[in-house]
Amino acid sequence: MFRNVAELVELAEKKQVKIAEIMIQQEIEVTGLSREEIIAKMDRNLTVMEQAVERGLKGVTSVSGLTGGDAVLLQNYMKTGKALSGNILLDAVSKAVATNEVNAAMGTICATPTAGSAGVVPGTLFAVKEVLNPTRMEMIEFLFTSAAFGFVVANNASISGAAGGCQAEVGSASGMAAASIVELAGGTPSQAAEAMAITLKNMLGLVCDPVAGLVEVPCVKRNAMGASNAMTAADMALAGIKSRIPCDEVIQAMFLIGQSMPSALRETAEGGLAATPTGRRLEAEIFGKKE
Amino acid sequence: MKYRSAFDIIGPVMIGPSSSHTAGAARIGRVARTLFNRLPKKAVISLYGSFAKTYKGHGTDVAIVGGLLDFDTFDERIPTSLKLAEEAGMEIVFSVEDMVPDHPNTVKINLYDDNGDLEVVGISIGGGTIEITELNSFKLKLSGEHPAILVVHNDQFGVISAVTQIFANHEINIGHMEVSRKEKGKMALMVIEVDQKIHQNVLAEIEKVPNVTQIIRMVD
């Protein structure tokens, strides 16, 4: 079993296989299921992600009315040809938003690694798919690579907003996605680790401060920026840029930052954006409480 | 290692919006239903902590009722479960509690019908993972992720070893086990989590052990 990113990269390089393959082999060992069963299970998760994006791009509205429809706005804007940051990047952003809008509307999603951060991994996958034309199996491998990096974060830091703030949720998701994009684009295992490190470094300290305690504001837009962060970091790593701080040390820093974060900023809706005048007003409107 | 599988990271497939407040809540409801082993006539759902504060916005209410209707975390009927429960003839009462619980996401579920009643306390600890912490005021710790059985028995010597011997005879490894009792010599409870599916013939053997009064199959 790999315990950190360094061991994961070393295993993949020694065996000369993708990081996805290391994760699949470990899953076979841990669960006793066959390779076919494990692949089929991830294939089903991929189908759920596809359906969520498809639904979100048609436009949905959440139960509270706080979120919905932004994925459609962005897709329409892309069609004008005036987008400054490029359509592949905005496609990733809009598909991440689409997934989280479906989540807020009580639709079916696949947690990656949580429901609140479920947009980043599929959003980036379905955007780079348009350029790299992967096979179905390569798309499934993308998810196993994400799982491998997320596995390291979950066991060495946290993937829970209540424990480590949003850096643990959208931060982890963005790092996972960046590494997977690199591998799908033909980068090496160490380039994937560099992309993960670069992404996480720019998510450190991100607080979890949901308005009214709901997984909507700012979660949907945090997924948008998480997808954007992942795409940029993947390009940087593919260009040969390295992180001065090794990936495992970034993860350790993330863990320690999470531990020193006050509880008001860890999914209690007591601080940050939740405690702004508008945040409090929205909360009162939704739950009918006195301000 | 807290997490062991790729599907702890990429998964579960679920109805949004929150892995702890929706998926976890549905799982607690479903464990209560499994323990009751039939559709209850009435359910009293007491919400504590963060569950009490934000249950409406998170769909914690419909998720728990969905679980009581035996729906999985990804069942698209969850958002309409209150109506479906009414149609099925199940009366639902929600009670929002002020008491501060040990864990912020705590729910107590009381189920009733003409043949009996059941009380389950569960907590949702994050990412859809849950623990059952109380059953009919017995304290316990059960994840609901592995095949498990609950054995209600009289608090007498030899019952525990007789039951574990049956598992050994069938080459079934016990991953987690706990025993508790309310009072010396009275009713006691064994919770046994194992690594593989428990077949009916094993349960039939355990039923024959002297002083065993009831067996509840938890998770297949």
CB contact under 8 A, B127 and A63: no
Question: B159 lies in a domain?
Answer: yes
Helix axes A70-79, A35-58, angle to 10 degrees: 80
Plot region of B180 (φ>0 → left; ψ -120 to 50 → alpha; else → beta): beta
Q: What percent of chain B has pLDDT over 90?
A: 57
CB contact under 8 A, B13 and A45: yes
Based on the structure, what is the number of domains in chain B? 2
pLDDT of residue A291: 37
B132-169 pLDDT tens trace: 899 888 888 877 667 888 898 999 999 999 999 999 99
Higher pLDDT, B31 or A287: B31
CB contact under 8 A, A154 and B3: yes
pTM metric for this prediction:
0.86
Residue-number span of the structural domain to which B38 is assigned: 7-142
Q: Are strands B187-194 and B91-96 parallel, antiparallel or unpaired?
A: unpaired
Q: What is the average pLDDT score of chain A?
A: 95
Question: B1 lies in a domain?
Answer: no
Q: Which residues of B touch A215 (CB under 8 A)?
A: 16-18, 58
Q: Which residues of B touch A143 (CB under 8 A)?
A: 10
**Closest partner residue to A45 among B8, B10, B15, by Cβ?**
B10
- Do residues B49 and B126 both lie within one domain? yes
Average pLDDT for runs of 10 along chain A of length 291: 96 98 95 93 98 97 93 97 96 98 95 95 98 98 98 92 90 98 98 98 96 94 98 98 98 96 87 96 79 37
For testing the chain B interface, which of A47, A63, A64 should be mutated: the one with the most B CBs within 10 Å?
A63
User: Is the predicted pLDDT of residue B1 greater than 80, yes or no?
Assistant: no
DSSP secondary structure string, chain B? -----HHHHS--EEESS-IIIIIHHHHHHHHHHHHHTS--SEEEEEEEHHHHHHHHHHTHHHHHHHHHTT--TT-TTGGGHHHHHHHTT-EEEEEE--SPPSSSEEEEEEEEETTEEEEEEEEEEETTEEEEEEETTEEEEE-SSS-EEEEEEES-TTHHHHHHHHHHHTTPPEEEEEEEESSTTSEEEEEEEESSPPPHHHHHHHHTSTTEEEEEEEE-
The CATH number of whichever domain residue B79 belongs to comes to 3.30.1330.90
B77-115 pLDDT tens trace: 999 999 999 999 999 999 999 888 887 789 999 999 999
Residue range B53-78: average pLDDT? Answer: 91
User: Is the predicted pLDDT of residue B3 greater than 90, yes or no?
Assistant: no
Judged by CB atoms within 8 Å, which residues 88-127 of A form the interface with B? 102-116, 118, 121
Q: Which residues of B touch A176 (CB under 8 A)?
A: 9
Q: Which of the four CATH numbers 1.10.4100, 1.10.260, 2.40.128, 1.10.3470 does domain A5-287 have? A: 1.10.4100
CB contact under 8 A, B4 and A215: no
Sign of CA dihedral B159, B161, B165, B168: positive
